[in-house]
Amino acid sequence: MLRRHRRLRLLAAFTAVGLLATACGGGRDDDDSASDEGSGENGGAPAEVPGFDGETISLGVITPTSGRVAVIGEPLTNGNRAYWDYVNEELGGVAGQYPVELVIEDSAYDAPTAVQKYNDMKDSVVMFNQLLGTPIVNALLEQLTADNIVAQPASLDSFWVREQNLVPIGAPYQIQAINGIDWWVNEGGGSADSTICILRQDDPYGEAGLEGVQFALDELGIDLASEATFPVGNPDFTAQISQLQGAGCEMVWLTATPTDTGGALGKAAELGYTPQWLGQSPTWIGAFVESPLLPYLQEHYYWVSEGPEYGDTSASGMSELMRIQEQYAPDQEPDIYFNFGYLESQAVHQVLERAVEMGDLSHEGIIEALNSIEEFDFGGVFGNYGWGAPEDRNPPRANSIFEVDPNKPIGLGLLVEEHEAPFAADYEF
């Protein structure tokens, strides 16, 4: 009995030692592994560089596949996967010759883990197809700048617009707020005398919504009547709803995530408070269609995002998205994050095509290719993004408004397509 225990303990000891030993995997390949002769002649086949072995292009993805953000990370990654499966199988890869491989690592939504994964991967990928999480992107931005690698941040924060090493897509949160407020005041039932308020998360995402709201209200000459904040995962919204109710808000701009949307609007429904809610794009999730909150949402909630309704095939990009989803991700339900993942891969694809054209897939080559693109075209699913050097970038300035319709996919039906406030173009990034 004792002997068996001892052997088990010895076994555990040797395993521990073995674990440490295998950590020291491989010798040190002497540096300068990034042989920078990638600056080939225009039109020539790109030289081999980190992430490109002459045949396959490797792209990095650092995303949470566990924890509370996995509900966003997974459909996003599925969108990435579906798009590249389509490119590899139907187009033969980038420029018809170079298939793309996604290297997917889990970040656990934890900055040190993400930084570690980034460092593990940075010498074996050409660029990053997806980095999810504002704190993750912030932490990695230093490294990206130092290593001169390009990444696609999977969020609509405005900080990314002027970063050389980032490829943001979509109209940022501030623009959503600007267009949403302008539309409601002028066409959606409000007026210049309306009491407008905001309910937001107490973090940078919430602050982004506030900035947009404040900008729009300043332009319209309206005062913000009340600002209510809440921590993520707030168990009870009575205080916030009471505050808004007390201020007599007729319209409330909502900057939150689905769980808190449910909590806040649920409490509002219970307390009998019925302003017009306008929510930013992350506030919605398909599960609301089966929630007891549905009737309240149908009457009092609009969703602000971009592009056409899901299923509206008059936009070429939309019909293609749907076809690719059905073929390469058949188990995926229509999901706004899947769409985002698909679109960000589309953007990355355009960058890679240009880089191959210019004959250089090295990190520096990607940057050059990136700056030489004039506009990102998303086939109407997202607004086209004016591109160029970082100082010249111009995000899309129009948003679409949706209402809740349980009969439509994702539960949202288009109300107004591509509304642009007259002053939306004036917002400076």
Partner 1 sequence: MATVHALTDALRPGRRGPAPGLALSYADEIKLLRSPRRTPWRWLLVVGGLLLFLWLPTYLGDPGLRVLALCGIFALGAIGLNLLTGYTGQISLGHAFFVGVGAYTAAYFGSDHGWPMPAYLALAALLGFVVGGVIGPFALRLRGNYLVVVTLGLVFLGEHLWNNWDSVTGGGNGTSLGAAPMTVGPLDFKQGLELGSEHYTFEQSFFWLVWALVIVGALLAKNLVRSRAGRAMQAIRDRDLSAEVIGVSPARYKVGAFAWSSAYAALAGALYGLLQQYVSPGEFGLFLAITYVAMIIIGGLGTIFGAIVGALFVWGGRSLIEQNSGQALFDPLITSRSGEAGIFTIGELNAVLFGLAIVLFLLFEPRGLAAFWFRIKTWFLTWPFSY
Partner 2 sequence: MTLPLPAPPLLATITGDDLLQTGFSGLAVGCKYALIALGFSVVFKATGVINFAQASLVLLGAYLTFNFSQTWELNFYVGLLLAMAGGALLGVVIEALVLRRLVGEAPATVIMVTIGLLFVLDNVVTAVWGPDNHNLGDPWGIQTREVLGVTVADRDLWTIGFTALAVLGFFVFFRYSTLGLAMRAAAFDSEVAMAQGIPARRVYRVAWAIAGMVAALAGATLAAGASQLSPATGALALVAFPAIILGGLDSPLGAVVGGVIIGLVQQFTALLAPEYFDWVGESFERVSPYLVMILILLIRPYGLFGTKEVRRV
135 binds partner 1 (CB under 8 A): yes
Pick from partner 1, partner 2, none: which does 263 bind, CB < 5 to 8 A by kind? Answer: partner 2
CB 304 within 8 A of CB 281: yes
Between 74 and 250, whose beta carbon lies closer to partner 2? 74
209 binds partner 2 (CB under 8 A): no
Distance CA 69, CA 53 (A): 33
136 binds partner 2 (CB under 8 A): no
Of 19-27, 147-155, 222-230, 343-351, which part binds partner 2 (CB under 8 A)?
222-230
2 binds partner 1 (CB under 8 A): yes
CA proximity to 180, closest of 407, 378, 415: 415
Task: Output the smallest distance, CB 261 to partner 2, in A.
Answer: 9
CA proximity to 131, closest of 151, 103, 106: 151
Residue with tokens 């592009």: 307
Per DSSP, what are the bridge partners of residue 394?
Answer: 386
Between 67 and 295, whose beta carbon lies closer to partner 1? 67
225 binds partner 1 (CB under 8 A): no
**Total site size for partner 1, rule CB under 8 A:** 60
Site mask, partner 1, residues 332-371, x = CB under 8 A?
A: x---------------------------------------
**Largest distance between two CA atoms of the chain:** 84
Site mask, partner 2, residues 143-162, x = CB under 8 A?
A: ----------------x---
Q: What are the tokens at 374?
A: 């004039």
26 binds partner 1 (CB under 8 A): yes
Task: Output the smallest distance, CB 196 to partner 2, in A.
Answer: 11
229 binds partner 1 (CB under 8 A): no
Q: Which of 68, 89, 90, 119 binds partner 1 (CB under 8 A)?
A: 119
The dihedral sign for the CA sequence 393, 395, 396, 398: negative
Residues 6 or more apart in contact with residue 97 via CB below 8 angstroms: none
Distance CA 228, CA 209 (A): 12
Per DSSP, what are the bridge partners of residue 255?
Answer: 200
**Helix pair 336-358, 316-328: axis angle to 10 deg:** 100
Task: Output the smallest distance, CB 44 to partner 2, in A.
Answer: 41
Give, as ranges, the residues between 235 and 264 that touch partner 1 (CB under 8 A).
none
Chain centre distance of CA 123: 24
CB 367 within 8 A of CB 150: yes
Distance CA 302, CA 339 (A): 20
Residues that bind partner 1 (CB under 8 A): 2, 6, 8-10, 12-13, 16, 19-20, 22-29, 31, 64-67, 70, 74, 77-78, 81-82, 104-108, 110-113, 115-117, 119-120, 134-135, 138-139, 141-143, 146, 159, 202-204, 207, 329-332
